[in-house]
């Protein structure tokens, strides 16, 4: 049997990664919060509601027992909504092996920023489990396609190159290509903020702004993300890569994107809560929007698209007014690094 893997979270991405890892020959255990959901997972061999048609092999185990999921596992893959990350890590903590000889690797696959602390998810994990081996997996990777073994390319970020290579080897196969990077912070900022820009892109679609506006939002969106990310210590190359512009393109353009789908509904006049209820999934961009604006203020970075999304979601600003304000901002140079 291959590597012992515990997957904490049985949503669409958790099931898709269980498909990848079990197909790679690893011993996979998937945790879900309630025994009722575990019964459904066992009966269907997957998540019928969120990832219909994807059936996992009998070798994959489902459980609501956190100890069974994480104790003595080589790798623990955490795939829970960002708002529940800290609470989930606290539940895992009693069963984590902290000895240097058998230290487990925790792979964060959640995309978001904790609203109160403004921490990215790997920092939340380190805050609860100081000194643990943590890394992040991110990139343009809709679960609906990964679950069908469609070609996908992502990046693993880690402080330690050997850990990054180890995780790369665990996940990589002929349809799931994995690159590695030392820029964990940049990867996580790109992953969290692209959801907010995707909301904006969806709102523009729902409002009928057209393809020109969509292209502008994607292009200026990555500018805002990289501007903040670099101010926080991330690297420009990361924002030009898979977890930056790559993830942003797929999240803004695809109907698999829950953030875009929720944005379309908001653009058609629904509130963000009504949109989330209709999408029936956690829309991370709604939770990351406030945190992103707080980070912009903290680092004194101009982020007009992020501000517009916050104004629409939480301040009752009309879509017409938000679009007009974005279009009539002060005249700017596109790139201040270019000289005449």
Confidence of residue 128 (pLDDT cuts 50, 70, 90): very high
Angle at 276 between CA 272 and CA 280, to 5 degrees: 175
| pLDDT over 70 (residue 1) | no
Summarised one tens digit per residue, pLDDT across range 68-118 is 999 999 999 999 999 999 999 999 999 998 777 778 999 999 999 999 999
What H or E segment, with its residue span, contains residue 42?
helix 35-44
* Number of continuous H segments (helices) and E segments (strands) in the chain: 16, 8
What would you measure as the largest C-alpha separation in the chain, in angstroms?
65
Collapsing DSSP to helix, strand or coil, 284 comes out as helix
d(CA 93, CA 327): 49
Q: Can you say whether the dihedral through the CA atoms of 220, 224, 227, 229 is positive or negative?
A: negative
Summarised one tens digit per residue, pLDDT across range 163-219 is 999 999 999 999 999 999 999 999 999 999 999 999 999 999 999 999 999 999 999
Q: What ranges do the domains of the chain cover? A: 4-182, 192-327
Min mean pLDDT across 93-102, 189-198, 267-276, 322-331 is at 93-102
| pLDDT over 90 (residue 303) | yes
d(CA 71, CA 130): 17
CATH number of 192-327: 1.10.1040.10
d(CA 181, CA 160): 10
| pLDDT over 80 (residue 43) | yes
Q: Give the phi and the psi of residue 134 in degrees, each rounded to 5.
A: -115, 145
Q: What integer best gives the mean pLDDT of the chain?
A: 94
| Selected catalytic residue, list 50, 61, 111, 194 | 194
* Class of residue 333 by CB neighbours under 10 A (exposed 0-12, middle 13-18, buried 19+): exposed
Give the β-pairing of 61-63 and 4-8.
unpaired
Mean pLDDT of 242-262: 93
The highest-level CATH class for domain 4-182 is alpha beta
194 is known as an active-site residue: yes
């Amino acid at each position: 049997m291959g590597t012992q893997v515990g997957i904490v979270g049985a949503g669409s991405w958790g099931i898709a990664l269980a498909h990848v890892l079990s197909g790679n020959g690893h011993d996979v255990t998937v945790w879900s919060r309630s025994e009722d959901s575990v019964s459904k997972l066992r009966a269907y061999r997957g998540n019928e509601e969120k990832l219909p048609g994807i059936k996992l092999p009998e070798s994959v185990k489902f459980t609501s027992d956190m100890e069974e999921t994480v104790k003595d596992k080589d790798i623990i893959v955490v795939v829970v909504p960002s708002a529940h990350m800290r609470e989930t890590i606290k539940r895992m903590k009693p069963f984590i092996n902290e000895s240097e000889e058998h230290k487990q690797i925790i792979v964060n696959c959640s995309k978001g920023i904790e609203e109160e602390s403004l921490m990215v998810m790997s920092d939340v994990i380190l805050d609860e489990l100081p000194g643990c081996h943590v890394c992040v997996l991110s990139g343009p990777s809709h679960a609906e396609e990964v679950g069908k073994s469609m070609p996908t390319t992502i990046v693993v970020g880690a402080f330690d190159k050997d850990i990054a290579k180890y995780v790369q080897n665990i996940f990589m196969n002929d349809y799931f290509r994995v690159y590695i990077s030392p820029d964990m912070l940049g990867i996580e900022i790109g992953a969290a903020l692209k959801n907010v820009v995707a909301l904006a892109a969806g709102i523009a679609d729902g409002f009928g702004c057209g393809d020109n506006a969509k292209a502008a939002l994607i292009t200026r969106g990555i500018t805002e993300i990289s501007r903040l990310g670099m101010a926080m210590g991330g690297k420009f190359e990361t924002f030009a890569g898979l977890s930056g512009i790559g993830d942003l393109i797929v999240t803004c353009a695809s109907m698999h994107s829950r953030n875009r789908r929720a944005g379309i509904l908001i653009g058609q006049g629904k509130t963000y809560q009504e949109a989330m209820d209709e999408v029936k999934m956690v829309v991370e961009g709604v939770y990351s929007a406030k945190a992103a604006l707080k980070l912009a203020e903290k680092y004194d970075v101009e982020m007009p698209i992020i501000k517009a999304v916050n104004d629409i979601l939480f301040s009752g600003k009309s879509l017409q007014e938000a679009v007009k304000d974005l279009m009539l901002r002060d005249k700017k140079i596109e790139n201040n690094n270019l000289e005449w």
